[in-house]
């Protein structure tokens, strides 16, 4: 049993509005940009390349990552 049916109905109506994008339709955006002014497509492109790099790093084994880390010498070390 529900102790407070009015509060339950209010929460349900709120969830319905969120699910149906009520406020998105009521207050449409003039431009499809983010806070920084970057378009949604640019954000997706940036996120996609970052995720691809992370996935490539995850595919490498631990020993391969360690070998790459220690085999890369700095130019200062070569001159000594």
Q: Please give the model's pTM, rounded to 2 decimal places.
A: 0.39
Q: Which whole number is the average pLDDT over 35-53?
A: 76
Position 20 pLDDT exceeds 80: yes
Expressed as residue numbers, the domain containing 55 is: 3-70
> Do residues 66 and 57 lie in contact, with contact meaning Cβ atoms separated by under 8 Å?
no
Q: What total of structural domains would you count in the chain? A: 1
Q: Say if 44 falls within a structural domain.
A: yes
Q: What percent of the chain has pLDDT over 70?
A: 86
Tell me, yes or no, whether 80 lies in a domain: no
Q: Does 66 reside within a domain?
A: yes
Residue 58 lies in a domain: yes
Handedness of CA 65, 67, 70, 74 (dihedral sign): negative
């Amino acid at each position: 049993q529900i102790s407070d049916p009015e509060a339950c109905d209010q929460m349900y109506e709120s969830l319905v509005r969120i699910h149906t994008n009520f406020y998105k339709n009521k207050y449409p955006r003039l431009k499809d940009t983010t806070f920084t002014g970057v378009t949604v497509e640019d954000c997706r492109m940036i996120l996609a390349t970052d995720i691809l790099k992370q996935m490539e790093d995850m595919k490498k084994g631990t020993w391969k990552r360690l070998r790459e880390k220690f085999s890369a010498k700095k130019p200062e070390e070569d001159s000594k």
